[in-house]
Structures are given as structure tokens and as C-alpha cells.
Chain A
């Protein structure tokens, strides 16, 4: 293995403390619970079916970015974690489990690209989430990721935002939106509105202008929408990725209960992949819902519909060269790649697609809880991102559109680390710049 660099353990004090507290009994209890009782039929079938052909390897960005280090092939990650847990059970050591936690949380983003390469369609990401479930039960969750789960559990949102801060931020953004477009509103708690618009915590916390931009678009399109003023507005659901499925279910339920309480006709989800996944499939499944109780529309599809129906028109196209990062949970997970390109082409005059693209695009190196592992995990993530950096540079674009909060932060990190001459934008950033505002002539919105 000397050809490949040593894979250093991440410097995470929570993992250290959890490892120190592990006992054989605790490990046995967690493995008995997950492997014997919770793990699905799929675990057994996948284990029997995998023929160790290694054809999933070249799907994985972390493998490709490390000169094809065999340890980073998807199948190797399963072999070194779950297959070992199944075989050795409580005989694995706490130190082994720490390594497994690092593989499961940081070296796999559960983007599912490998399942598109596996001849058997084995859901390798599902298997890595099963490892995370074991880690969660043992308290072996990276510190920063656990903090987001704790925040979800205590406040309902990912970033410890209190109800008064949420309402206050919404009202502040209403003022800003009014500067752009007279009469723009940020309605809260409007029962019977057509749309509940759902954002994730980073919007009120650090990217509040996105909420203001959306208020402008909603007004321009004359839509009847609302936020709740209670908890239940954030469904980014990091618990889904930490392995705390009980909290995951609680968050998803709160979100749908809130939409039902408001009596809206549909929920529109902002540009976030986790939230979409949590609300669309992982959450409902845990709750035993076959489908979400109301139609759920992701921002990509929402914008597509606004442009297609003519509710929003573009005053002047955005002419800086752009490319796009396809988010796994909406493009691979919901087939929205085509509509995403329609939206971009409607707003931008110089679109340069990535290669590979659509369902086959590489992972952003942030999603699936990776970036939420915080600074201790950054070097690992950036090492995994080399292929992404090369792919970004090859487009020659100056802006990377990232219709997902994780892709957004992830690509920002990649751009910074690899010193690419590129910026990231959400679709809503571009739409707010290019939209034809009522009564504004043909000049578009001013900054």
C-alpha cells in the first residue's frame, strides 16, 4: 500500500471520548439491535449478492481523487465496515469502530453514484447509512454533525435558531424585499395559502438574502404563500445522516404536520437536497407513509414551472459563463436534471455543462453529512475533491450554479482549496438578478 498516502484519523475529540467509553457489552448491544433486528432484508441480500467485482470503484470521487487507492472503492468501504461488523460482531475493537465511523461519515457522502455502476444495483449508500446507525447508537458521531442533530432535536432546526429569531429574520427580509419590489411580503402563518415555502436553517442564519429574494419572486409571480411562524420550517434533517432515525422521523413529522395545520395545497422546498430527501423519502418511510401527505415541489421544479407558465419572465439574461453542480438528492434522487438545465438556459446565455453530468455528475464532497463533520473533516473532504476540482476547471465557467445548500458550501470549499477562479450561486440569486419586475420596464431588478 506504500503507493498511497496514509489516511490519517480525523482530529475529533467527541470521537475520542466515545471510543474511550466503549465496552464490549455496548458494542454487542448496538450490533444486535442493528444487524439482528433493524437491518433490512437488503443487508442480507446485498451481502449474499456482491461478487466483489470492484466495478463500483470508478464511480467514487474519493477513490478517483486518491489515484484509485483500493481502500476508497465503495465496495472496500463496505468490506472494511459493515461486512466486518457482521462477521466479527462485538469482537471489533473500539479503535476499529473509530476508523469505521470515519469511513462511513466522511469518506462516503451517500450520493449513490456507485449504485449506478454496480451491475447488481446494490444500494451501497444504504449500507453505509447502516454503519452510521451503529455509530450513532454507540455515540460515535463526529462532533459537529452531532451538534446539528442535537439542534434539530431541541429546536426543530439545524442551527439553534429560536422562534423569535426566525420571525425577526423573516420580517427583516420582508423590508429588504420591499426595497426591490413594492408590496413584496413575507407572509407568516397564513392558513389556507396555496404554498408553504420551506427553507433550511442556513438561510435565516447566514444567507438571509435568499429569503428576501424568494419574497421578490413570489410577489412577481403573484403567488399565495406562507411560512409557519412555529417550528417545522426546517427539514434539512441532519439526523437522517447522523444515524439518529428517531429524531429524523420526528423532524419529518413536524414538518408535514405543520404543512397540514396550515392547510396549504403544496409544499415548495428551497434549494436544498437533504431537506428534499428527508421530506420526500427517508422521513416518510421511517414514519410509514408511502408518499408525503401533500405534493412536494423542489425549487428546481418550482422555478421551471414559473418560467414555463410565464408567471415569471426574464428581463435580461445572465451572461457570465456558468456551469452547474447536479445535486444527488434532486437529480439522481428525483430526475430533475433536465428541468434544471431548462431553468439555467432560460436565465443564462452562456451555460457550459459539466462532464460527466446529470445523474452521473460527481459528488460535491459536502452532502450526506460530510461538511457537517466540520473543520476536523475538511482535509479529508478536500482530498476527495480533486476530481471535482479538475471537472470544474475543465468547464471554463466563472460561476458554478449550486441548487443545493450542501453543494453550495462544498463547491465553495473546493474552489477555495484548489484555487479555482470561480464563484458559486444559487438559482434564486440569478433569478432575482434577471427577473422582469412588474412596472420595472426592461431593466430587471437593481442590486
Chain B
């Protein structure tokens, strides 16, 4: 412990080389009544570069959401170490954004007030957060719907508001847990495009947990494939597709299919092995 602050200082001087997120030898287990503890994450080490978009895929129950929750600070690290920007994960940090499949919009707030929520919690001045939320709603294609209640919006539009909310907070680290999995196939691609256009204008580091391989390839720079439970890293695939990308046209590039097929070949082994 004593040596760490000094080491962090040295790394800080190296600037870009400090990983945005460092996961070192992390294992995690859950208590289950009447049974021995269930190991869900088994000795995972991973460095996520600043500004990188990294997807984590794997069979159901492979611990990918647990890993994300550990980075978010929603779960305490049991063994190993996770550093976000050189510090322990802090739940509720302004620099962290978090998004789920469920939009969790507040039904009593209009779209604009929902988009403002992150900034409001951060106590940003009213004019600033209103301006930022208006800009973000426009960027996700919701100009003119600012004053609608969530119940007046379709599923896809609601998730757009959730996107606007998370980006309005200008997070440095963005954690996404199956963000578009509740949407139909076409709406999902539209939302992925909205996400890409927002993210490519920001400098956020993204960790995306998904079971959708096409989504993982379309949105990220690297895809981490995990084994079935207990989750270990099986392989890491680079996605050298050019940016800016559009999820709606990325499939035109043969490279997309190359990475997709390689991922599927490995994932199929994991899911059919049982």
C-alpha cells in the first residue's frame, strides 16, 4: 500500500500511458444459501485505454455484468484490484456514466428534465444544464419532444432520452450494461448510431457489456470474450474498423464479418460445451 501513491505519480507523469481502467487479478464470488460460494469472475486482468471503447461478451452468467458493477463501484472488490484513473472505483462519481437496458426515466419528468438529471444531481447551474440537455436531445434526434412525458414516447425515444441524460453529464468513463437489448432490431441500430455520433464527439472511455456480437463489433475498438462461468478472459479481438462508424452501414465492411465470425466460433464453443 505504502508504495502505491508514488508509483501512481510516476505513471501520471507518463500521461497517456495510465490506463483509464485497470483490472488486476480480480476474482469475485457470491454467497448462495445452502451452497458453497459461487465463483463468477475468475482472475481477470485487463487494461482499458483512455478514450477506448471496449466490449465484453460471453455466455449468460459469465460474470460480465458483475465485472461492470465492480468498475462502477456497485459491488466491492473482493480480491484483486480495480483502479479507475488510478483511484478505487467511486460510486456516484461525476466522471462516471452508467446506462442499463431499462431506460429508468422518471415518469413525472418531461424529456428535458430527465435529460438534465445527471447535471442536476451534480448541482450544475440551471441555465447551463437546460442548454446542455436541449443540445443532447437535439443530438439524439428528439428536438421538439423536449416537453413530452416518458409515457408519450416510444421505447426507442425513451432510450434516446436516457442516452441524452448520460452524455449530458459529460462522463469520462461510460459503463453500458446491455443498453439496447430491450429494443427491436431496427430501433436498436438507430440507437447504436445515435450512441456512436455522441460518443465519437466525446472523449469518454467506454465499457460495453452485451450478448449481441454484432453490437460489440460495431461499437467497440476491442472485444473481450469471456468463458462460461466462472468467467475468465478467453480472448481479446481488435476491431480495426475505421471511425467514424455507423452501425447501419458497418456491415458493408468485410472486416466486420471477419471479427464477428471469429468471435462466434469461440463463443459457440463456450455456449454449447455444457
Q: Report whether chain A binds chain B.
A: no
On B, residues with C-beta under 8 Å from A are: none
Which A residues contact B (CB, under 8 angstroms)? none
